[in-house]
A and B are shown apart, each in its own frame.
Chain A
């Protein structure tokens, strides 16, 4: 196993040096081989991702009817984003949801990872139990909760709580669903990081008389940083694009209190048939995400 913080940047740099030193293999030949291996990825990314993406950008510059010829109208689709009565609320809600989920999910996943990091009899069972909800598809999980939190058929009817009845309860229920579904996966990511911290580091700290809390804050957390960074990026990106959970589970309600940004895109494209407008919001959202992730990578590295 590699060391705890073997950032890929260093590895690549080291390898690059080595490649230049190998005289037997001309660099061009090896570069060609590399391109050959990367070719399937390139074909898929270009044809199934970048090409449709370019089409989305083109759509965002046109009035794009369902049938018939599109007409160029830039920048009208971008200009009217702010006029959408749902959009400002959706931005605020999505940011709020992202903040809450990211904090809770990180805390829960880290807690679970710490609980099951030691090798002991039975620990495999606990890891499996926490991870198993991740095997259920997100749509299926949302349908499951939809039934379980229905007071007529669900097991919690006796509590008399209206699980999706008020804005706060609807958000809380959705968060519970997301935590249940994703905590195990994030736990596993963090477990990877925890396992790669050498035992000697802990032993040294303990022999220096560090308390458990000190070990956690001074050793575990700093050494876990690259793994935490990865988890944060996945969680933030996923939350900013949240759709299924609200679409299936709360339907944006009650009173539009759980409308996420992607739900606004969906509504524009599929309910109002405004493909150009939906594309414009998507382009803006994509640009924000790319910028945000670049920033995050820079800060967290």
Chain B
């Protein structure tokens, strides 16, 4: 029983903030229970569905982009030798070391130049870039964990490396792919600063920017109920996705993918 009591106490500590947030999002100004905070949010600005849709679109593009780029890149880094390989890998990891706040202005200039200013696609590309260190590292190690004999057997059969990748390797690294996709989703769904800086037009704002606008709409008075409703609207899709994909990402990590 001691096994469970200490762990349960810890679990309560970790879950408490989420439960409190959910509870207080349902409280009205008068102290009663109400869906009023959510209803008020739904009507804000262009309407909640619009912001939700923007967030979804950015996240889907980011997930797709991250998964494709990091799967190909991870394969290249794990299985091939080519000039500049180590340099490119280190450059990819170096993305982790740049202060977010500074690189956004040059990025803004750059996206404007290629015609991707104020565009959800441009924003998604930036998210893909920020996801690459984690995703590439994870995918490289996932591929390395797959026994080489699998791939070599396919090659001997006359398959090219691309067919070996699609037919044999990708299914083998599926947990890694799902983990990478999940983290790409979380990062792009939740980010506040990049969309704030990179998007010019209120109707293309994703949820976090809209939520923060909502809570700051009156000067000097925060509506705490609405604030927590906003937290919930942002968090619940992520929590659900987390629970649904649990078995995969745990296996993604366990498949040796993050070993140093």
Residue positions of A touching B, CB distance < 8 A: 1-2, 6-8, 11, 15-16, 19, 27, 30-42, 44-45, 47-53, 55-56, 59, 112, 115-116, 120, 122, 124-140, 143-148, 150, 152-155, 180, 183-184, 188-189, 191-193, 195-196, 226-227, 229-230, 234, 237, 241, 243-244, 261-262, 265-266, 269-270, 275, 278-279, 282, 285-286, 289-290, 293, 300
Contacts and interface: CB of A to CB of B under 8 A. Distances in A.
Contacts of A127: 250
Nearest to B135: A41
B88 interface: yes
B82 A31 contact: yes
Contact of A137 (B73, B94, B238): B238
A144 B77 contact: no
A148 B136 contact: no
A191 B5 CA distance: 21
| 9 nearest A-B pairs in the assembled complex, by CB-CB distance | A137-B190, A34-B80, A226-B260, A52-B106, A37-B76, A41-B73, A129-B11, A38-B76, A55-B106
Given A140-B231, A192-B258, A244-B193, 20 more contacts: A6-B259, A11-B144, A31-B83, A34-B85, A44-B69, A45-B92, A48-B107, A49-B98, A51-B110, A120-B3, A129-B11, A135-B186, A137-B186, A139-B208, A144-B21, A147-B231, A192-B257, A282-B99, A290-B97, A300-B260
Given A38-B77, A56-B103, A127-B250, A282 B98 contact: yes
A112 B13 CA distance: 13
Contact of B259 (A53, A192, A237, A262): A192
Of A115, A131, A135, most B-chain CB atoms within 10 Å = A135
Interface of B: 3-4, 6-8, 10-11, 14-15, 17-18, 20-21, 24, 68-70, 72-73, 75-77, 79-83, 85, 88, 91-92, 94-103, 105-107, 109-110, 125-126, 128-129, 132, 136, 140-141, 144-145, 148, 161-162, 186, 189-193, 208, 212, 215, 224, 227-228, 230-231, 234-235, 238-239, 241-243, 246, 250, 253-260
B155 to A, nearest CB: 8
Given A2-B145, A40-B69, A49-B91, A196 B227 contact: no
B216 to A, nearest CB: 11
Of A15, A32, A41, A134, most B-chain CB atoms within 10 Å = A41
B129 A53 contact: no
Contacts of B110: 47-48, 51-52, 55
Given A33-B80, A136-B18, A227-B258, A241 B100 contact: yes
B148 to A, nearest CB: 8
Contact of A237 (B15, B81, B96, B161): B96
Given A1-B145, A188-B253, A243 B99 contact: yes
A231 to B, nearest CB: 9
Nearest to B91: A45
Contacts, number: 279
Contacts of A293: 97
A31 B80 contact: yes
A224 to B, nearest CB: 10
A136 B125 CA distance: 22
A28 B128 CA distance: 30
Given A53-B103, A139-B191, A146 B227 contact: yes
A129 B14 contact: yes
A122 B73 contact: no
Contacts of A124: 246
Contact of A153 (B24, B100, B186, B253): B24
Of A154, A188, A244, A278, most B-chain CB atoms within 10 Å = A188
A49 B254 CA distance: 30
A8 B242 CA distance: 29
Contact of A189 (B77, B125, B258): B258
B101 A243 contact: yes
B99 to A, nearest CB: 5
A19 B192 CA distance: 46
Contact of B76 (A41, A133, A154): A41
Given A31-B83, A37-B73, A139-B190, A133 B18 contact: yes
Contacts of A270: 101
B235 A135 contact: yes
A237 B258 CA distance: 17
